[in-house]
Amino acid sequence: MPVLVMKFGGTSVANLDRIRRAAKRVGVEVAKGYDVIVIVSAMSGKTNELVGWVGETSPMYDAREYDAVVSSGENVTAGLMALTLQEMDVPARSWQGWQVPLKTNSAHGAARIEEIPTDNITAKFGEGMRVAVVAGFQGISPEGRITTLGRGGSDTTAVAFAAAFNAERCDIYTDVDGVYTTDPRVAPKARKLDRIAFEEMLELASLGAKVLQTRSVELAMRYNVKLRVLSSFEEQSDTAGTLVCAEEDIMESNVVNGIAFSREEAKMTLVSVADTPGIAAAIFGPLSEAGVNVDMIIQNISEEGLTDMTFSCPIDQVKRAEKALNDAKAAGSLAFEALEADTEVCKVSAVGIGMRSQSGVAAKMFKTLSDEGINIKVIATSEIKISVLIDRKYMELAVQALHDAFELEKA
């Protein structure tokens, strides 16, 4: 029988009533003739509670024990979902990561999937099981210890299973009914997209859209797994939600398909560093070693032989970046006059695969922001994306103005 993967996020399984609602959706797909692999998250709020307990018990915790505790939320949900399906006379069985086994590396708290053998679950399907309910977010290390995949890892689990089992599709059930041109809470004219290309979804996810975890989209693109994002709380239909698919599966795409934004950004500037070969490595090497996620970079000539280097990073990594750069200065491997941090900025981005073949997108974006009196601090571009750093107080105005300028409310 064909295989379908269905993933239910925390809000979709937040209580027993919602688990029953999700189980009914699974039953519909079983009735259509699918063998179904259900990936479940922990109940809404449970993972945060478990993380809090670990921190309260041991501030300098053992990462292996952290994974043992934090992974337990998904185990509870998987068992309850399997029991609910059994009560509906649907042959179901729960599976923890080690039972599959979902094999990962040993990076506890942020493990990477290495292999998902299909033999065990396939054998059970052959014996009459119709639904395998798998605890998301977890696997097993080469040492035989439980690992977790990082926050949002159940999305990655679902896509990995879809790839391993050559599933017809991977449906991601969440609390929104699809992927929108931007956040409807910021721009009321935002429109739900029927389809979006992998590349666009990857950019939107990496730029702050919370619908899908970035790693899950990367996996889907690599293995050409069709993803469907849809709501657990609306009527089920074959055309519901948004299909994330290959570019060639989209008849025609708009030049810009979405406006993404990230509030939690900071702009950092090193003033008067030497304008010599190797200076960029001297700056960004220590930042990389400190785990600072650098995004946008701009270099300005200040005075003869000197330059200013500006970059953006998440606001919660500013202190880490300051320490890394000041330590490099103290060690004599880097010299600069001052280190300035602006923590009142945000990033706004226009994304669309149509940019590859049409000019004028940057000009329209910059003019739109200019007309609203919004000053651009930093610019970064890629083949299908233009991002700017602006003052955070103008974020909503910028998103709304750009959404209108590119007429994203129109299909």
DSSP-derived secondary structure for 335-375: --SEEEEEEEEEEEEEE-GGGGT---HHHHHHHHHHHTTPP
Binding residues: 7-10, 47, 74, 174-175, 180, 185, 210-211
**156 and 17 in one domain?**
yes
Check pLDDT > 80 for residue 301: no
Check pLDDT > 90 for residue 252: no
Percent of the chain with pLDDT over 90: 73
Which of the listed residues 154, 175, 196 is the one where a domain comes to its end? 175
pLDDT tens figures, 197-206: 999 998 888 7
Check pLDDT > 90 for residue 370: yes
**165 and 19 in one domain?**
yes
Among 152-161, 281-290, 295-304, which stretch is predicted with the lowest mean pLDDT? 295-304
Percent of the chain with pLDDT over 70: 97
**158 and 12 in one domain?**
yes
**Taking the CB of residue 44, how many other CB atoms lie within 10 A of it?**
17
**Which residues does 296 contact at the CB level (< 8 Å), separation at least 6?**
311, 312, 347, 378, 379, 380, 387, 389
Confidence at 377, pLDDT banded by 50, 70, 90: very high
Binding residues for ATP: 7-10, 174-175, 180, 185, 210-211
Residue 223 lies in a domain: no
Domain CATH number, residue 310: 3.30.2130.10
**53 and 158 in one domain?**
yes
Give how many domains the chain has, as a whole number: 2
Residue 72 lies in a domain: yes
- In whole numbers, what is the pLDDT of the chain averaged over residues? 92
Which of the listed residues 157, 175, 193 is the one where a domain comes to its end? 175
* pLDDT: which is higher, 191 or 248: 191
pLDDT tens figures, 321-367: 999 999 999 999 999 999 999 999 999 999 998 888 888 899 999 99
**304 and 165 in one domain?**
no
Confidence at 303, pLDDT banded by 50, 70, 90: low
Residue 226 lies in a domain: no
Check pLDDT > 80 for residue 251: no
**163 and 265 in one domain?**
no
Residue 374 lies in a domain: yes
**34 and 161 in one domain?**
yes
> Which tokens hold the place of 124?
């059970």
Confidence at 209, pLDDT banded by 50, 70, 90: low
**117 and 10 in one domain?**
yes
Binding residues for substrate: 47, 74
Q: pLDDT at position 175, please?
A: 82
**171 and 297 in one domain?**
no
Does residue 207 contact residue 347 with C-beta atoms inside 8 Å? yes
**267 and 132 in one domain?**
no
Which pairing describes strands 92-95 and 103-104: parallel, antiparallel, or unpaired?
Answer: unpaired
Q: pLDDT at position 238, please?
A: 66
Check pLDDT > 70 for residue 208: no
Domain CATH number, residue 130: 3.40.1160.10
| Spatial separation of the C-alpha atoms in residues 361 and 246, rounded to whole Å | 23
**117 and 22 in one domain?**
yes
User: Tokens 């942020």 — which residue?
Assistant: 110
| Domain of residue 323, residue span | 259-405
Confidence at 63, pLDDT banded by 50, 70, 90: very high
Beta strands in 237-323 (DSSP E): 242-245, 258-274, 297-301, 306-314
Confidence at 245, pLDDT banded by 50, 70, 90: confident
Residue 211 lies in a domain: no
| Helix (H) / strand (E) containing 381 | strand 378-382
**263 and 170 in one domain?**
no
Residue 17 lies in a domain: yes
Residue 308 lies in a domain: yes
Which of the listed residues 151, 175, 199 is the one where a domain comes to its end? 175
Max distance between CA atoms of the chain, in angstroms, equals 78
Residue 41 lies in a domain: yes
